[in-house]
């Protein structure tokens, strides 16, 4: 597909556009298109194949031209068969991804690998591609056998149903997500032309990435060398999906795949202003998608960001400890300015014997200096109590030492999370 | 106090006695006495001092004779002022402990230290002891100033109210606990005489010990050398309070103090059968108290035990990962045999690239062999579904390698936990 692609309409770019989080700035050179649109030369589909009782459960996304790809997987000792099989494919030149929801293909041994390979072969045959050009992804309950026939027939049905937008594909990859997470952007390059950049993500529970803990598929019709695409993908993943936690649980099937097919006829030169501009757009896209995963975390009502500065070896464990503390997360739910719990989890991460010289600010209001809680007057308390009632709450910790700075975005812990996860598989 | 102590009546030793968990065997040489009883030469009290809006909130326990003590604190960089002040006392010869609930004395800098020292001095004066014989402990919300006058007057009131049982003391140390956790045992020593051994504990949330994450005070009227008491305390803490998790949160104020005052006139010789017998009783006492903390964890409805065998470097992180996974804990609540989540958290702890050769048994039923989920027939599924409905659920993982074996007891994650912790401080 080329210039004959239907032109997506520009979506609203007001506050209720895609870049809704105050922690993500919409780059000035980016325009939002219809969120389900795809860059030129990409098609997608989603079908109901019977893996879930109802609803779309198998999705296929394909590039109609030679394509450069970059891939990131999760870092779990237990990985799904789709990751094992995709790892043996042409990771730098994938043309398509076949994804299913409803049942993850994990811990099923040789049978699971065979299921993945059969589905890959079926998609390849239907698309007239080599099997090693097809990436696979699978999400849903772990520990149950994925119905092979449903997945294979779903792959074939998707190949018949491909169309120029990602509407059904976005839906078919969802599990407990409240709704689709996607955007399509027009990126104005400094050298003059525009390219499109789109992304579709899923994820709501079992979210604690080392880099990729969910699915995110990204497409651009720019022409990008593999090394450049891989670099941009790696950097942007580290600033997005690597910085979020719903429940500190690293999945077995998390997958990020970026595709660049050159259909726009615009080449991104390495280390050029155009590369920087595309990178900024990709960064904003992935950060907003990552924040949507947190904001749509199972049961989430409020999102916190903890920023930690100080000695390099301490900032990451402290940020994770605060973000993953069920006590901090429950206080976030209750809009309870119970910052003693932030101090406690910080001290836990630092460990016994480390001097507790910590400053703490909540929404810019300092509440702890050098490890000692400040005497706040009634006005300051009211300010604090109002601040923690917002949808996004900022927590900033400063530790002794220099050279380290990190952030983690995290959801609150809610009754709904407990309900969802105590009733999930039965 | 000596033989004139009122003799506690023996409590029921049936299944609804103190040793209720199937994971703790009541030693054959141990008889349960009235649970609030104390060994000879110990007295205790609890009063309402106004730290909590209502109810007992300051407790004092004292030995009327020269006493040997052994102490363990938590391993948090942020420690409460009571731990800092107690650490400078005569840890091997404490005579008393003054504890308060309702507000923890943490992160209050010089003012908090002064509050602890004034309370210690007030108790010492009232008891006619040196201040360095008084241990301190404080629990409750972190980050608010502990009312000094209330604590000091509470200490004086307790000294006036001391009596031969621990009823009010047990209540005064509670926070979100459903009820007191305590026992008094008569221990028949192989050499002939009997001694008494009692323990009082508190703890329900912020529970993830490295060794002691809660309060537990233990008293015996045996005569025990400090080195022996310290050794027994250390070993038993490692097998009890170090093996439990409600929410993986290490507190700032956790304290275990063991006292031995020799009032029974029975000396425990080091490395004797008597030492072994006392150690077995202490081990059972602390394990049951630890299990009560988990079973009474905030909102807990069900307790799991995960046992992990395999390579030494892997067993502890895997056991912690499973026990602290909110997904595993929510499945435990729902009596959902969703063992995929046990595999996922195991893989997360092992990390990417580690071969996932893991066996899993639930209540003795093998469900995973060498990382592959077994095909269970309908009967096996029914057995499994019934098994996870019991109050205590056993999970056993076998990893590659040898030399390591550990266990962690953990609570489920419940709506009530979320309610308690989203409404706690406001």
pLDDT top residue among B251 and A406: A406
Of the partner residues A250, A330, A426, the one whose CB lies closest to the CB of residue B334: A426
Residue A92's pLDDT is what?
Answer: 97
Evaluate if residue A425 carries a pLDDT over 60: no
Q: Regarding the domain with residue range A303-422, which homologous superfamily does it belong to in the CATH classification?
A: ArgJ beta chain, C-terminal domain (3.10.20.340)
Task: Measure the CA dihedral A278/A284/A290/A293, to 10°.
Answer: -120
Round to whole Å and give the CA distance between A60 and A82: 14
A366 to chain B, any CB pair closer than 8 A? The answer is no
Alpha helices by DSSP H, listed for A11-147, are 81-87, 109-127
- A308-317 average pLDDT score: 96
Q: Are strands B303-311 and B372-373 parallel, antiparallel or unpaired?
A: unpaired
**CA–centroid distance for B2 within its chain:** 29
Residue B225's pLDDT is what?
Answer: 97
Confirm if B101 and B215 have CB atoms less than 8 A apart. no
- Interface list for A 222-261 with B (CB within 8 A): 247-252
Cβ separation A338–B106 shorter than 8 A: no
Contact residues on chain A for B248, CB-CB shorter than 8 A: 325-326
Segment A83-127, tens digit of pLDDT:
999 999 999 999 999 999 999 998 899 999 999 999 999 999 999
Confirm if A241 and A286 have CB atoms less than 8 A apart. yes
The position carrying tokens 């601040």 is A387
Q: Determine the straight-line distance between the first and last CA of chain A, rounded to whole angstroms.
A: 45
Closest by alpha carbon to A269, among A236, A218, A221, A222? A222
Residue B425's pLDDT is what?
Answer: 55
Closest by alpha carbon to A74, among A138, A133, A168? A138
Evaluate if residue A314 carries a pLDDT over 90: yes
Q: Under 8 Å CB-to-CB from A417, ≥6 apart: which residues?
A: A205, A247, A297, A298, A299, A300, A411, B326, B330, B418
Confirm if A17 and A11 have CB atoms less than 8 A apart. yes
A7 to chain B, any CB pair closer than 8 A? The answer is no
Round to whole Å and give the CA distance between B28 and B276: 13
Closest by alpha carbon to A170, among A81, A290, A57, A271? A57
Evaluate if residue A7 carries a pLDDT over 70: no
Which residues are B201's β-sheet partners?
B181, B216
Evaluate if residue A6 carries a pLDDT over 60: no
Of the partner residues A78, A104, A413, the one whose CB lies closest to the CB of residue B347: A78
Residue B99's pLDDT is what?
Answer: 97
Question: How distant is the Cα of B113 from the closest Cα of chain A, in angstroms?
Answer: 12
Cβ separation B107–A340 shorter than 8 A: yes
pLDDT in 10s for each residue of chain B, 426 residues: 333 333 333 332 234 689 999 999 999 999 999 999 999 999 999 999 999 999 999 999 999 999 999 999 988 888 899 999 999 999 999 999 999 999 999 889 999 999 999 999 999 999 999 999 999 999 988 878 999 999 999 999 999 999 999 999 999 999 878 889 999 999 999 999 999 999 999 987 665 543 334 899 999 999 999 999 999 999 999 999 989 888 877 778 889 999 999 999 999 999 999 999 999 999 999 999 999 988 988 888 999 999 999 999 999 999 999 999 988 999 899 888 888 889 989 998 998 889 899 999 999 999 999 999 899 899 999 999 999 999 999 999 999 999 999 999 999 999 988 888 887 554
B425 to chain A, any CB pair closer than 8 A? The answer is yes
B386 to chain A, any CB pair closer than 8 A? The answer is no
Top-tier CATH class for A30-295: alpha beta
The rounded radius of gyration (Å) of the Cα atoms in chain B is: 22
Residue A365's pLDDT is what?
Answer: 94
Range list for CATH 3.10.20.340 in chain B: 303-422
Q: How many CA atoms lie within 13 A of B167 on its CB side?
A: 6
Question: Which structure tokens are listed for A6?
Answer: 């239907």
The position carrying tokens 């609203």 is A12
The pair phi, psi for residue B413, each rounded to 5°, is -105, 120
Confirm if B367 and B386 have CB atoms less than 8 A apart. no
Q: Is B213 a catalytic residue?
A: yes
Cβ separation A249–B143 shorter than 8 A: no
Question: Which structure tokens are listed for A221?
Answer: 């019709």
Cβ separation B424–A338 shorter than 8 A: yes
Range list for CATH 3.60.70.12 in chain B: 30-295
Evaluate if residue A10 carries a pLDDT over 80: no
Strands (E), B312-371: 359-362, 365-369
Q: How many CA atoms lie within 13 A of A229 on its CB side?
A: 28
Contact residues on chain B for A359, CB-CB shorter than 8 A: none
Round to whole Å and give the CA distance between B115 and B145: 10
Question: Which structure tokens are listed for B330?
Answer: 């929510």
Closest by alpha carbon to A69, among A116, A133, A120, A117? A133
Confirm if A318 and A406 have CB atoms less than 8 A apart. no
Segment A334-358, tens digit of pLDDT:
888 888 889 989 998 998 889 899 9
Question: How distant is the Cα of A407 from the closest Cα of chain B, in angstroms?
Answer: 20
Question: Which segment of A32-41, A155-164, A371-380 scores lowest on mean pLDDT?
Answer: A371-380
Residue A308's pLDDT is what?
Answer: 98
Identify the burial level of B238 via C-beta atoms within 10 angstroms of its C-beta, where 0-12 means exposed, 13-18 middle and 19 or more buried: middle
Task: Measure the CA dihedral B87/B89/B94/B98, to 10°.
Answer: -70
Confirm if A81 and A116 have CB atoms less than 8 A apart. yes
Closest by alpha carbon to B240, among B182, B284, B277? B284
Average pLDDT, chain A: 90
Round to whole Å and give the CA distance between B318 and B299: 24
Which of helix, strand or coil describes residue B265? coil
Which of helix, strand or coil describes residue A119? helix
Round to whole Å and give the CA distance between B263 and A155: 79
Residue A206's pLDDT is what?
Answer: 63
Q: What ipTM, to 2 d.p.?
A: 0.83
Round to whole Å and give the CA distance between B413 and B421: 12
Confirm if A45 and A158 have CB atoms less than 8 A apart. yes
Confirm if B247 and B205 have CB atoms less than 8 A apart. yes
């Amino acid at each position: 597909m080329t210039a004959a692609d239907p032109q997506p309409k520009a979506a609203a770019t007001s506050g209720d556009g895609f870049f809704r989080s105050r922690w993500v700035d919409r780059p000035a050179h980016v325009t939002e298109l219809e969120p389900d649109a795809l860059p030129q030369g990409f098609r997608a589909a989603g079908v109901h194949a019977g893996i879930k009782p109802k609803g779309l459960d198998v999705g296929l996304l394909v590039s109609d031209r030679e394509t450069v790809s970059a891939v990131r997987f999760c870092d779990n000792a237990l990985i799904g068969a789709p990751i094992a099989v995709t790892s043996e494919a042409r990771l730098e030149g994938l043309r398509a991804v076949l994804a299913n929801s409803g049942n993850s293909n994990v811990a099923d041994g040789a049978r699971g690998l065979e299921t993945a390979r059969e589905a890959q072969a079926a998609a390849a045959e239907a698309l007239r591609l080599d099997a090693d050009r097809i990436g696979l992804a699978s999400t849903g309950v772990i520990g149950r056998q994925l119905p092979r026939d449903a997945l294979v027939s779903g792959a074939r049905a998707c190949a018949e149903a491909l169309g120029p937008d990602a509407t059904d594909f976005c839906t078919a990859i969802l599990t407990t997500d409240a709704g689709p997470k996607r955007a399509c952007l027009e990126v104005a390059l400094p050298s003059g032309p525009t390219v499109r950049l789109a992304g579709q993500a899923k994820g709501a529970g079992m979210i604690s990435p080392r880099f990729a803990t969910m699915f995110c598929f990204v497409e651009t019709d720019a022409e990008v060398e593999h090394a450049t695409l891989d670099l941009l993908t790696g950097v942007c993943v580290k600033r997005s999906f690597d910085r979020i936690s719903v429940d500190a649980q690293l999945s077995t099937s998390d997958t990020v795949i970026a595709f660049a097919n050159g259909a726009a006829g615009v080449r991104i030169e390495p280390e050029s202003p155009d590369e920087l501009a595309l990178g900024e757009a990709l960064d904003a896209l992935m950060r907003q998608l990552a924040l949507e995963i947190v904001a749509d975390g199972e049961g989430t009502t409020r999102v916190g960001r903890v920023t930690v500065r100080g000695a390099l070896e301490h900032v990451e464990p402290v940020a994770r400890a605060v973000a993953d503390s069920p006590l901090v997360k429950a206080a976030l739910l209750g809009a309870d300015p119970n910052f003693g719990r932030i101090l406690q989890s910080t001290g836990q991460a630092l460990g016994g014997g480390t001097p507790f010289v910590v400053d703490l600010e909540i929404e810019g209001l300092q509440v702890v200096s050098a490890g000692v809680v400040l005497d706040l007057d009634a006005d300051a308390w009211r300010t604090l109590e109002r601040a923690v009632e917002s949808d996004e709450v900022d927590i900033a910790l400063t530790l002794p030492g220099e050279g380290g700075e990190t952030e983690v975005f995290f959801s609150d812990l809610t009754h709904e999370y407990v309900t969802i996860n105590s009733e999930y598989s039965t």
